[in-house]
Chain A
Amino acid sequence: MSRSDDPAHGLKGHEAPSRLQAFLASDIVYSWKRQPVVIVASLVTLLMFAGAVFAPWIAPQNPFDPRQLHLIDAFTPPLTTSELTGNFYLLGSDGQGRDVFSAILYGSRISLLVGFASVLFALVLGTTLGLVAGFRGGWRDALLMRIADIQLTFPSILMALLIFGVIRGFLPRSLHAEAAIIVLIIAIGLSDWVQFARAVRGTTMVEKNKEYVQAARVIGLPDVRILFQHILPNVLRPVLVIATIGLALAIIAEATLSFLGVGMPPTQPSLGTLIRVGQDYMFSGEWWILLFPGLALLMLALSVNLLGDWLRDVLNPKLR
């Protein structure tokens, strides 16, 4: 065979390039480098992720620890050093003397945690159900897809509210504050699994008729093995895209729920909670309490969303 005998093009010799080299030369990186918007979006995302993860080391105070709050510093405007305590408030402070900057760092921590966890939950649930529905077909498929259809007729935030209320109803009142985060994750995840299930079902139905799956069947491999070793890796591409866009949606859903007062309590504020708290002061002159958490949410959701859109476009030709 005359495969490797093109000396003119064996630029880097014949050793296979390392995984890193291969990645850096890939079309994804190439496309990333050529789109300034995407570069900015990823930098913003990275910055906010870093801020959230390293909040305890970056933030000047821990807004969850009442002992660190100075009530006398309440309503300090941004970029001001308090004359009473000598603390510097980059983005001002709220009615309890909480540093808005620190609150945003800690708040986005919770927002991102809920976002990631609920997307993961929706992803696992939706992908599993989609795989089963697409692979087995028949009544399982019909049942799952009708449930999905019904769920899609409700706005997902309404669905999340409903699920949130139902789960809370089963929990003793004493657990409400501590379990809030888990309940939120389940509620948002349950309202979002349909996207994954539908995409995975469709791709599975395409993949299962491909000849490599038939080849596995001729060998006699058990269905479970075919499903998880052959089909699953091949349907993950759209899942990845949906997950990225879903992350932005989940963060917004969490913020909405918290804004409505059913999400995170004010003692453990997420970005949504901060916005809810802040809106009380909007017309009384303390605009920073609302504006900065709002901007943070906007930037986070927007940049994650832009990344998701870009990822979808890059991977799109291979979706079908």
Chain B
Amino acid sequence: MSSTPSSDKPNSTNRTEDRQSASSEGPILSVRHLRVEFPVRHANLVALDDVSFDIAPGEVLGVVGESGAGKSMIGNAVIRLLEPPGRIASGEIHLAGRRIDNLPEDDFVRLRGRHIGMIFQDPLTSLNPLFSIGDQLVETIRTHLPLNEKQARALALDLLAEVGIPAPETRFDSYPHQLSGGMRQRVVIVLALAAQPQLIIADEPTTALDVSVQAQILGLLKRLCAGRGAAVMLITHDMGVIAENADRVAVMYAGRLIEIGPVNEVIHRPRHPYTEGLMAAIPRLDGRRERLYQIEGAMPRLAAIPSGCAFHPRCPHAAERCRRERPELIPSGDSLTACWLHDPEAPVVRRQPQGGERVVLVSSTPRPAGEVLVKAIDLVRHFDVSKPWINRVLERTGRVTLKAVDGVSLVIRRGETLSLVGESGCGKSTLARLIVGLYDLTRGRLFYAGEEITDLARRSGRRAAAVRKRFQMIFQDPYASLNPLWRVGAIIGEPLRYFRPEMSDVDRRRRVGKLLEQVGLSAADALRYPHEFSGGQRQRISIARALANEPEFLVCDEPTSALDVSVQAQILNLMKDLQQQYGLTYLFISHDMAVVKHMADRIAVMYLGRIVEVAASDRLFATAYHPYSRMLLDAVPSLEGTGKRRTMIEGEVPNPIHPPSGCAFHPRCPHAFDRCRREVPVLTIRSEGSEVACHAVAEGRIV
């Protein structure tokens, strides 16, 4: 990027200002001692506290932090979109040398869009569904630039072409719902960039998108901003995204800036114990650790920010001083960090070796495979997504079926973890729900420990209970998976009440208490309600419920994708411990390849309702055969290659209602040829324990 990492050291105000007055070009955005408060009924919540930083022209500043850290608050405060009753209590914000935080609202409105562009997380809600994208673009351009209708249209078309929307003329009159998620986010980028603003604030711009599309969008955003010399504030929770795209990184914790520095420094030589822990808690693609480093506890709520250093209750090195005195940002190498460990006069002493070093790298030797526990033969599940009968008659259309799972065969052995990976919409969750009998099978046969359970979804009473008591499921959304009106004790005790009605209330209560302790909560928590717990704690409750009846097989549907990295590490470690303790078998669904690598013994890669490759975990990560598996692996943002350009993958997952002919992957596949368009490939054994469904591989055209 245009700015060299050493040219702008923010925040130690004096130094920065000296340097800036010397250089001809000041920072685009300069935030000084920003404090945002939310006066609410019980307290005055401080959402941002003494935050200062600069962004230079053409620079990408990554702002990272877990949920509740206040990272979005910075963007919203700069563009003055704080939700009431939030307000800027003190501090200054300068845009290109001009103070903007005290501008009257009427003047400020003109800044938005013209000087500051904003890209939000959800591309669907950022666009008005009632206007065509062309109209929205022309309107935006004409609001900010003195162009007539025709010139604006020409500029809009140019911009659409520039962000890689194929045939912009034909797309110009499309409505947002007619575009895919990736395409919509491209349009949002065009909207944000249309008036050539000096500053772009991108708040989780790719979180709602699949990993393959994410790479395309971020690359695009970065290229466009660099070309225009715009400064970018890239707000995200994803360290991989930061590593690849940011020049400098600001780490937030509990509304405070705790570390800021060049991206390589922050990621490879983190100074603050929180950043250190965060980095060590991220599952990596390189090598496999038996356990992830975990930071205990969770981000404090705004109503209960600890005294002194806000991180001290979770910090392994915390000393008395950390509890009393709040650290300022202290220079340490090329970074600045708010931690007494780095106090030049009297540093606090480290208690134990750094988190990252404690972790032992192990090669994953697959556990000795037990007997076959789950056997699925050619599972098919179609959903009828037709319009109502009367519409079909009037519009002369037929029934429409969505082939969510279209012929999946797999085997899960006792004691192993089989991971199912794939992008959203590929049928992973449907397959999981078929296996636990939440959905009826359209076709196919299902066996559990030798017994045929094809009809499980239709079974009732004791006949179902005999099978159902042997497996359980853990869900993705920790907020929706617990009945909000039930006490935790009743939630966890429910399987016991149903499967073991003979159990006395006292025994059950004792068992619930024990389960809570097993998952790292306390027995007293049984009396509380789910809303009193954080996301990670709720997921622990879900796990406790799943374990209540001592099942042997757990289906986990993206159990950590709604959680923060440090909490994810806690949950993944817990799941591994429980597996070891009880010899559990997991079907572990995830879209995150690094998490899968950490958890899985074997991996099944799914694309549009079919399994395209099954292989032992090590095998797949070493040599993936199927082009789609390779694509997934390439698309993972890596912490190692900072600034490295990933292999770009074109296209997105097609609509499963009208899947492509032959091999469903052929429109995106660089190796596709005639046969792929005609003939559906079947899974064939490629090498020991590895099966691939690909014509190109079968014919030896890919090695």
| Residues of A in contact with B (beta carbons under 8 Å apart) | 1-3, 5-6, 8-9, 16, 27, 30, 210-212, 214-222, 230, 233-234
When distances are taken between beta carbons in the complex, the residues of chain B under 8 Å from A5 are 313
Nearest-Cβ distance from residue B41 to partner chain A, whole angstroms: 6
Q: Which of the four size classes fits the interface of chain B?
A: 35 or more
When distances are taken between beta carbons in the complex, the residues of chain A under 8 Å from B313 are 2, 5
14 pairs, A vs B, C-beta closer than 8 Å: A1-B296, A1-B537, A2-B313, A3-B537, A27-B41, A210-B480, A211-B475, A212-B484, A218-B468, A218-B472, A221-B494, A222-B461, A230-B483, A234-B484
B438 x A214 contact (CB < 8 A): yes
Indicate if B485 sits at the interface (CB-CB under 8 A): yes
A215 x B475 contact (CB < 8 A): yes
Residues from 528 to 552 in B contacting A, C-beta threshold 8 Å? 537, 542, 545
Cβ-neighbour of B296 out of A2, A6, A211, A220 (below 8 A): A2
Lowest 5 CB-CB distances: which A-B pairs, in order?
A2-B297, A211-B481, A220-B468, A211-B475, A6-B304
When distances are taken between beta carbons in the complex, the residues of chain B under 8 Å from A6 are 300, 304, 306
A220 x B498 contact (CB < 8 A): yes
Indicate if B290 sits at the interface (CB-CB under 8 A): no
Contact A219 B537, CB 8 Å, known A5-B313, A212-B481: no
A222 x B460 contact (CB < 8 A): yes
Nearest-Cβ distance from residue A224 to partner chain B, whole angstroms: 11
Nearest-Cβ distance from residue A319 to partner chain B, whole angstroms: 13
Additional A-B contact list (13), CB under 8 Å, known A215-B545, A220-B498: A1-B520, A1-B522, A2-B296, A9-B303, A9-B304, A30-B41, A210-B481, A215-B481, A215-B542, A219-B468, A219-B499, A220-B469, A221-B498
When distances are taken between beta carbons in the complex, the residues of chain B under 8 Å from A8 are 304, 307
The residue on A at minimum CB distance from B466 is A220
When distances are taken between beta carbons in the complex, the residues of chain B under 8 Å from A222 are 460-461
Whole-angstrom CA separation of A6 from B312 in the bound complex: 12
The residue on A at minimum CB distance from B548 is A219
The listed residue with most B CB atoms (<10 A of its CB), out of A2, A212, A214, A222, is A212
Whole-angstrom CA separation of A8 from B307 in the bound complex: 9
Whole-angstrom CA separation of A252 from B469 in the bound complex: 54
A1 x B521 contact (CB < 8 A): yes
The residue on B at minimum CB distance from A212 is B483
The residue on A at minimum CB distance from B437 is A218
The residue on B at minimum CB distance from A5 is B313
B473 x A215 contact (CB < 8 A): yes
The listed residue with most B CB atoms (<10 A of its CB), out of A5, A211, A216, is A211
B480 x A219 contact (CB < 8 A): no
Whole-angstrom CA separation of A234 from B471 in the bound complex: 27
A218 x B473 contact (CB < 8 A): yes
When distances are taken between beta carbons in the complex, the residues of chain B under 8 Å from A221 are 494, 498
A218 x B498 contact (CB < 8 A): no
Residues from 457 to 503 in B contacting A, C-beta threshold 8 Å? 460-461, 464-465, 468-469, 471-473, 475-477, 480-485, 494-495, 498-499
Indicate if B208 sits at the interface (CB-CB under 8 A): no
Whole-angstrom CA separation of A1 from B540 in the bound complex: 12
Q: Is the interface of A mostly helix, strand, loop or mixed?
A: helix
Whole-angstrom CA separation of A1 from B537 in the bound complex: 9
Whole-angstrom CA separation of A5 from B301 in the bound complex: 12
Nearest-Cβ distance from residue A306 to partner chain B, whole angstroms: 23
Nearest-Cβ distance from residue A11 to partner chain B, whole angstroms: 10
A234 x B473 contact (CB < 8 A): no
Whole-angstrom CA separation of A8 from B313 in the bound complex: 13
Whole-angstrom CA separation of A8 from B494 in the bound complex: 36
Nearest-Cβ distance from residue B491 to partner chain A, whole angstroms: 8
Indicate if B298 sits at the interface (CB-CB under 8 A): yes
When distances are taken between beta carbons in the complex, the residues of chain A under 8 Å from B437 are 218
The residue on A at minimum CB distance from B477 is A211
Cβ-neighbour of B438 out of A1, A16, A218 (below 8 A): A218
A220 x B307 contact (CB < 8 A): no
Indicate if B379 sits at the interface (CB-CB under 8 A): no
Whole-angstrom CA separation of A30 from B41 in the bound complex: 9
Cβ-neighbour of B495 out of A1, A16, A219, A233 (below 8 A): A219
Indicate if B436 sits at the interface (CB-CB under 8 A): yes
The residue on B at minimum CB distance from A318 is B484
Indicate if B314 sits at the interface (CB-CB under 8 A): yes
Cβ-neighbour of A1 out of B297, B468, B477 (below 8 A): B297
A212 x B480 contact (CB < 8 A): yes
When distances are taken between beta carbons in the complex, the residues of chain A under 8 Å from B306 are 6
When distances are taken between beta carbons in the complex, the residues of chain A under 8 Å from B460 are 222
When distances are taken between beta carbons in the complex, the residues of chain B under 8 Å from A27 are 41
Whole-angstrom CA separation of A6 from B314 in the bound complex: 12
Nearest-Cβ distance from residue B556 to partner chain A, whole angstroms: 12
Indicate if B154 sits at the interface (CB-CB under 8 A): no
Whole-angstrom CA separation of A225 from B56 in the bound complex: 61
When distances are taken between beta carbons in the complex, the residues of chain A under 8 Å from B464 are 220
Nearest-Cβ distance from residue A320 to partner chain B, whole angstroms: 13
When distances are taken between beta carbons in the complex, the residues of chain A under 8 Å from B461 are 222
Indicate if B527 sits at the interface (CB-CB under 8 A): yes
Residues from 286 to 324 in B contacting A, C-beta threshold 8 Å? 296-298, 300, 303-304, 306-307, 313-314
Whole-angstrom CA separation of A89 from B364 in the bound complex: 94
When distances are taken between beta carbons in the complex, the residues of chain A under 8 Å from B494 are 216, 219, 221
Whole-angstrom CA separation of A216 from B537 in the bound complex: 20
Cβ-neighbour of A214 out of B298, B314, B473, B485 (below 8 A): B473
Nearest-Cβ distance from residue A264 to partner chain B, whole angstroms: 40
The listed residue with most B CB atoms (<10 A of its CB), out of A3, A9, A222, is A3
Whole-angstrom CA separation of A16 from B532 in the bound complex: 12
When distances are taken between beta carbons in the complex, the residues of chain A under 8 Å from B483 are 212, 230, 233-234
Nearest-Cβ distance from residue A149 to partner chain B, whole angstroms: 14
Cβ-neighbour of B527 out of A1, A16, A217 (below 8 A): A16
Contact A211 B480, CB 8 Å, known A6-B306, A218-B436, A234-B485: yes
When distances are taken between beta carbons in the complex, the residues of chain B under 8 Å from A230 are 483
Contact A220 B465, CB 8 Å, known A2-B296, A211-B475, A212-B480: yes
The listed residue with most A CB atoms (<10 A of its CB), out of B307, B314, B465, B480, is B480
Whole-angstrom CA separation of A9 from B307 in the bound complex: 12
The residue on A at minimum CB distance from B557 is A211
Whole-angstrom CA separation of A176 from B286 in the bound complex: 86
The residue on A at minimum CB distance from B534 is A3
When distances are taken between beta carbons in the complex, the residues of chain A under 8 Å from B303 are 9
Nearest-Cβ distance from residue B456 to partner chain A, whole angstroms: 9
Whole-angstrom CA separation of A1 from B571 in the bound complex: 13
Whole-angstrom CA separation of A218 from B284 in the bound complex: 33
Whole-angstrom CA separation of A30 from B460 in the bound complex: 47
Nearest-Cβ distance from residue A6 to partner chain B, whole angstroms: 4
The residue on B at minimum CB distance from A230 is B483
When distances are taken between beta carbons in the complex, the residues of chain A under 8 Å from B41 are 27, 30
When distances are taken between beta carbons in the complex, the residues of chain A under 8 Å from B484 are 212, 234
The residue on A at minimum CB distance from B463 is A220
When distances are taken between beta carbons in the complex, the residues of chain B under 8 Å from A215 are 473, 475, 481, 542, 545
Whole-angstrom CA separation of A30 from B307 in the bound complex: 29
Cβ-neighbour of A2 out of B314, B469, B476, B545 (below 8 A): B314
Nearest-Cβ distance from residue B389 to partner chain A, whole angstroms: 10
B482 x A212 contact (CB < 8 A): yes
Whole-angstrom CA separation of A215 from B314 in the bound complex: 33
When distances are taken between beta carbons in the complex, the residues of chain A under 8 Å from B307 are 8
Q: What per-residue 1/0 map shows which CB atoms of B94-126 lie under 8 Å from chain A?
A: 000000000000000000000000000000000
Nearest-Cβ distance from residue B607 to partner chain A, whole angstroms: 25
Q: What per-residue 1/0 map shows which CB atoms of B419-460 lie under 8 Å from chain A?
A: 000000000000001001110000000000000000000001
The residue on A at minimum CB distance from B491 is A212
Whole-angstrom CA separation of A93 from B545 in the bound complex: 68
When distances are taken between beta carbons in the complex, the residues of chain B under 8 Å from A30 are 41
Whole-angstrom CA separation of A16 from B314 in the bound complex: 25
Nearest-Cβ distance from residue B550 to partner chain A, whole angstroms: 13
A219 x B296 contact (CB < 8 A): no
Nearest-Cβ distance from residue B296 to partner chain A, whole angstroms: 7
When distances are taken between beta carbons in the complex, the residues of chain A under 8 Å from B545 are 215
Whole-angstrom CA separation of A1 from B534 in the bound complex: 11
Whole-angstrom CA separation of A5 from B313 in the bound complex: 9
Whole-angstrom CA separation of A16 from B529 in the bound complex: 12
